[in-house]
Structure 1
Amino acid sequence: MANVISDDVSKQSSAALDGLNEHTLKTVHWHFSDETGSPFWLEKKSSLNFDPLTDVKSFEDLKKFPEFEDEWLRGGPVDRWVPKGHAGKPVYVFETGGTTGIPKSRMVIEDHWKDYELFSDTLPDEHFPKGANWLMLGPSGPRRLRLAVEHLAQHRGGMCFCIDLDPRWVVKLIKKGWMEHLEEYKKHCIDQAVTVLTAGHDVQCMFATPKLLESLGEALEDKGTSLQEVGIKGIFSGGTEFTPQWTRFCVEEMLGGPVEEGGIYMTPTYGNTLMGLACSKPVTPADNYKISYYAPQPRAVTEVVKFDDYNQVVGYGETGRVKLYTLTDEFFVPGFMERDEGEREAPFEMYPWDGVSGVRPFHEIATATTVGVY
């Protein structure tokens, strides 16, 4: 793929990198200073073969850190991650994974609010009206997503209606091959959503995973109505199931065509408990519904790196594994290898830094990944 980046975008990219370098320096100093740092990183500092306070001068220097390990997040005490600079503030604990063994936990103070306020700025008001109520059709329990979507609704002046959904039970049903139970559980979740949407709550916006959105569309159709008729104008969705094929099906078959015709705007997102939320470049039929995600730099950064060298990014258009960096004053992750792979995308006006497209489970572990409701 030819890498054509205009002079304007090149200048913006250069300015964004300067900002990222400055932000990296500030974040590292916060997490490794005795006054503000977290017990985890202050203890880890002694086992590093460099001094983060003097040897990290730019984002590139984060490659000096060893790979961030999954296991560090499994089990407690979780408060070892709380920076001293935030001592005494109320702390949330969010879990991710956990379909087998101990789930990964991440402490959060306000990051989930900030991430979704930034995301809110990218939503077009005509399709996500301020003051409108939302439906959260996704996982509940110790998940960041539920509280984050609720905050998004409140931040935009509305209220959020939620359903009960335990993704761990879904994964267990799949692993046991209890497909009849799985269908019933999915129906149980969709019934809750249909009840909310048909109860006169003026819900105009929603979050849904692709599979649940599809099931909801079918359930409404069975009742002789549709997403448009129950008043939905804007949908944000997320998960690795978001493929160009599914997006085309969704837009053409469920949403009544592109937003100009069907009236419903849908934006894909890619996110997790560590990163926050990566926004998508607008998805268009002209671009074959290709989905490209851009992390919320400088708070989080994604790179697409070589399969045999995780410190080396691939060329534009080339395939590699997704590497994530979290750089907030609450949480510091210098290079975490995601369970995803994809293609490296060039910067553009809206997000003048690298993106990733074609996100799918990393091929070496894909067969062991149970996707569940996502």
Structure 2
Amino acid sequence: MAEHDGGDFVREMMQWHFSPETGSPFWLKRAQTLDFDPLTDVRDFEDLGLFPNVVDELRDVAVRDLIPLGHGDAHAAGVYESGGTTGEPKRVMFTAEWHRSSVEWFSDRLDEHGVPRNVDWLSAVPTGPHNVGAMAVDTAALRGGLNFALDLDPRWVKKLIADGRMDMAGAYTDHLIEQIGFILSSQDVGVLFATPPMLERLARHDDLVELVNRKVRTIIWGGTHLDADTRDLLRDEVFPQTRLVGGYGSTMMLGTSVERPGLGDDEPCVFDSFAPYTTFQVVDPETRQAVPYGERGQIVVHHLSRTALLVNNLERDFATRIAPPTDRFGDSVADVAPVASFSGETVIEGVY
């Protein structure tokens, strides 16, 4: 990356994804349907708007076709799925190279927040086909800790809520809280990685709140939105002995963004992306034009790496557009909240 508009980086990624020697079968075939030539017409970040949003195709594409040929047999790819909030799950793959870079970047951001190293983690986040669980395991290990995990199936909770079976959804969440209690009471946990609904449910149990305040030095939250009032309550009243650090990510981002360090308690939670690989734009959903800084719009995500090309992805979230850190591309986002419906489906967050 040499120039400020990111042109060198974008052109390098176009060469990688659309050269027969290095591109993926998916994009090499898809290029034949485009009305532009990515190798000559895509010169900078603005030109990414030429691409169609292909994420819905990831519900049934052969995942092996997503692996860039340039990685050869050394890709060591992991397959991950979306939460299925807006229909059948979509699938992406992370090469070992990208997963390692994501974990290292995430860990560096935690250092900026003063999150302790050499402590064990309790991760109340989805595992199985969801990448956030794998990130928790490897980030804890990179930082010298063990990771205690739960079996957390977000799709089951969303299905129960959609069917109006709130009693069963509550029972399942109680089952998860019980597992958290087993670990908190018996292990020295220094970092709790959990979704906001899990933290809110945890807050109802005075004995577990006491354990968190006594043992846990940082709570990392993410996966669903957390409004400012609830965040203030959790930080100041429920868990005053810990530090709260937010994350905003999704499978289609192939990773996460992290709360900007150094913000005051009265400032909104601002998320900075892993630029230039993952970048945000905040746009008017009708015109797809950028809204002014400080205004709200829908989030568009671009992912560009040697692992994947997923650009122009209109996310199911609205946010306030914030200027990015100096010399970074795209937008930062604040006050992220989901839309009521997306792609014709009601958005149900559940526990994730």
TM-score under structure 1 length normalisation: 0.87
Matched, 1:306 2:284: yes
What is the distance in 2 between the residues matched to 1:248 and 1:126? 18
Q: Matched residue pairs, number?
A: 347
Residues 264-312 of structure 1, C-alpha deviation per residue, up to 9 Å, x if partnerless?
111111001121111112443232xx111111101100000122222x2
What is the distance in 1 between the residues matched to 2:221 and 2:166? 24
Residues 306-335 of structure 1, C-alpha deviation per residue, up to 9 Å, x if partnerless?
22222x211111221110100110010121
What is the distance in 1 between the residues matched to 2:61 and 2:340? 31
| Over 4 Å off, 4+ runs | 349-353
After superposition, the Cα gap between the structure-2 partners of 1:223 and 1:204, relative to the gap in structure 1 and judged at 3 Å, is closer
After superposition, the Cα gap between the structure-2 partners of 1:40 and 1:302, relative to the gap in structure 1 and judged at 3 Å, is same
1:235 is displaced (CA, Å) by 1.4
What is the distance in 2 between the residues matched to 1:38 and 1:126? 37
| Structure-2 residue corresponding to 1:330 | 307
Matched, 1:141 2:119: no
| Structure-2 residue corresponding to 1:354 | 331
| SS in structure 1 of the partner of residue 211 of structure 2 | coil
What is the distance in 2 between the residues matched to 1:87 and 1:53? 22
186-195 or 344-353, which moves further after superposition?
A: 344-353
Q: Judge conservation of contact 2:18–2:27 (CA < 8 Å) in 1.
A: yes
CA RMSD, Structure 1 to Structure 2 (Å)? 2.2
Matched, 1:215 2:201: yes
Q: Judge conservation of contact 2:122–2:147 (CA < 8 Å) in 1.
A: yes
What is the distance in 2 between the residues matched to 1:240 and 1:191? 21
| Structure-2 residue corresponding to 1:370 | 348
Matched, 1:177 2:164: yes
Matched, 1:57 2:43: yes
After superposition, the Cα gap between the structure-2 partners of 1:240 and 1:204, relative to the gap in structure 1 and judged at 3 Å, is same
Q: Identity percentage over the alignment?
A: 35
Alignment match of 2:317 (pick from 340, 348, 364): 340
Residues 68-123 of structure 1, C-alpha deviation per residue, up to 9 Å, x if partnerless?
13321101311111100113132211010335753100111122331121021122
1:351 is displaced (CA, Å) by 6.0
Q: Judge conservation of contact 2:121–2:191 (CA < 8 Å) in 1.
A: yes
Question: Partner letter of residue 259 of structure 2?
Answer: S
Aligned pairs for 1:1-374 (under 5 A) are: 18=4, 20-66=6-52, 68-88=53-73, 89-98=75-84, 102-110=88-96, 111-124=98-111, 127-200=114-187, 202-219=188-205, 221-222=206-207, 225-229=210-214, 231-256=215-240, 262=241, 264-275=242-253, 276-282=255-261, 283-287=263-267, 290-310=268-288, 312-348=289-325, 354-362=331-339, 365=342, 368-374=346-352
- Unaligned ranges ≥5, structure 2: none
What is the distance in 2 between the residues matched to 1:71 and 1:291? 29
360-369 or 97-106, which moves further after superposition?
A: 360-369
1:187 is displaced (CA, Å) by 1.1
Q: Judge conservation of contact 1:134–1:153 (CA < 8 Å) in 2.
A: yes
1:17 is displaced (CA, Å) by 6.4
Q: Judge conservation of contact 2:184–2:208 (CA < 8 Å) in 1.
A: no
Q: Judge conservation of contact 1:243–1:291 (CA < 8 Å) in 2.
A: no
What is the distance in 1 between the residues matched to 2:112 and 2:119? 10
What is the distance in 2 between the residues matched to 1:296 and 1:33? 25
After superposition, the Cα gap between the structure-2 partners of 1:225 and 1:361, relative to the gap in structure 1 and judged at 3 Å, is closer
93-102 or 34-43, which moves further after superposition?
A: 93-102
Q: Judge conservation of contact 2:224–2:351 (CA < 8 Å) in 1.
A: no
| SS in structure 1 of the partner of residue 307 of structure 2 | coil
TM-score under structure 2 length normalisation: 0.92
Q: Judge conservation of contact 1:127–1:265 (CA < 8 Å) in 2.
A: no
Question: Partner letter of residue 347 of structure 1?
Answer: P
What is the distance in 1 between the residues matched to 2:271 and 2:125? 20
Q: Judge conservation of contact 1:113–1:148 (CA < 8 Å) in 2.
A: no
